[in-house]
Amino acid sequence: MDKVFQSVFYLFLIMILFKLSKFAYRIIRERRYMKELAQSGMPYIDKMDGYQFEIYLQALFQQLGYKPQVTQKSGDFGADLVMKGKEKIVIQAKRYSAKNRV
């Protein structure tokens, strides 16, 4: 019975380590993507849609030391990014194409 318990314990431990490694890989990959995104230039930004631009701004503000959250796509009352700290900062982002200049 002791060997069965050890086998089950080791299997359980392997499963936990596997889940943790997948989680760590996902976090590392997301951070790398956000860093690359924050450093992208205007030609890349010009190809983004509105939501991709919000994610770009999130990455940019993260690189600047803020902790922004992208809001839901609808029902957000115009807020696209929210940065919480001592004060709450709400950002409404607009990314128009070259044809529709602001």
| Higher local confidence (pLDDT), 35 or 27 | 27
Its pTM stands at: 0.60
How many domains, the chain? 1
CA distances from 7 to 4, 14, 19 (A): 5, 11, 18
* 81 part of a folded domain: yes
Model confidence pLDDT, tens digit, residues 8-34: 999 999 999 999 999 999 989 888 887
- The string of DSSP letters for 10-41 reads HHHHHHHHHHHHHHHHHHHHHHHHHHHHHT--
Residue range(s) defining the domain that contains residue 42: 2-91
Tokens 């709400």 found at: 90
* 43 part of a folded domain: yes
CB contact at 8 A, 40 and 56: yes
Among left, alpha and beta (phi > 0; psi -120 to 50; other), residue 63 is alpha
